[in-house]
Amino acid sequence: MPDAQSLIRPAQEEDLPSIESLAVQAGMFSPEEVGFLGEQFRQGDADSDACWLVLEVDKERLAAAYYAPEPYADRMWNLYFIVVSPSHHGRV
């Protein structure tokens, strides 16, 4: 069996539905609440220091994270959001 190909990369607009789906699957948000993620995603996109990341394994998005610098501190970052597909809890 070949090794899985994994890639951590900056998230793009087309990743948003997968990020929202992961958040619902993991029980972090209800389907009605995921609009909040879209707002944060677009806000992070406008702020060049904020970053959304996704983890792809064999081209399937399995995890996502959002972090940004602390505005009132030097070299300090906040992790605001992290989610892993329930099928990969404890494995990724």
Name residue, tokens 């904020």.
50
For the chain, the domain total comes to 1
Using the Cα atoms of residue 20, residue 81, residue 60 and residue 90 in order, give the sign of their dihedral.
negative
The domain spanning residue 46 has which CATH number? 3.40.630.30
Q: Tell me the per-residue pLDDT of 55-74, one tens digit each, with 9 for 90 and over.
A: 999 989 999 999 989 988 99
Q: Would 1 be classed as within a structural domain? A: no
pLDDT tens string 33-48: 888 888 888 876 565 6
The span from the CA of 60 to the CA of 84, in Å, is: 12
pLDDT for the residue numbered 20: 94
Is 55 among the domain residues?
yes
Average pLDDT, the chain: 87
Q: What's the average model confidence in pLDDT over 4-31?
A: 92
